[in-house]
Structure 1
């Protein structure tokens, strides 16, 4: 079952987001298997990330790469909001 995951860290800038993407690319996880959609929105220190994953397992595999990068950057991702995806219109 597809799931959506929304991260709303208390303080996460666009520069930190871009560095996270750079680090993920370097680890070969810039376009991870199972991620169906990725959206970054917001400004200042209030950047939000919204993903759709084909399964919880696919996200958990990716998070093994993501979380150490966020830890290294001293970013607290907070508790993500996770919900089942009912429909995607494009």
Structure 2
């Protein structure tokens, strides 16, 4: 069962900076252009950018287990950057369609 994981923050330069810092640390500076760039398998899709008044990051993960493995890496990074209270909205995907 695929999961939709969404983080929303107020759309400020700090939100994009937090995103960029998280990506840099998760990938150990290698960049992020493919799911294979992450240290854990299971990412189906990743979208990040400004939406309305917020900065939104939405991922689709193959399973709860794949997201949990990633969360074990991302959670401490977010906390270290000063956003320990930032929690995602997590829901089960009804349908996932890819190109």
Q: Same fold (TM over 0.5)?
A: yes
| CA displacement at 1:72 relative to structure 2 | 0.6
Q: How many residues align?
A: 89
Provide the alpha-carbon RMSD of the alignment.
2.6
Q: Which has the higher contact order (CA 8 A, sep 6+)?
A: 1
| TM-score, with structure 2 as normaliser | 0.75
**Once the 2 structures are TM-superposed, how far is the Cα of residue 74 of structure 1 from its aligned partner?**
0.4
Kindly indicate which of the two structures has a greater share of residues assigned to strand: 2
Q: Which runs of 4+ in 1 moved over 6 A?
A: none
Q: Where in structure 2 are there 5+ consecutive unaligned residues?
A: 31-35
- With structure 1 as the length reference, what TM-score do the two structures score? 0.81
| In structure 2, distance between residues paired with 1:17 and 1:27 | 13
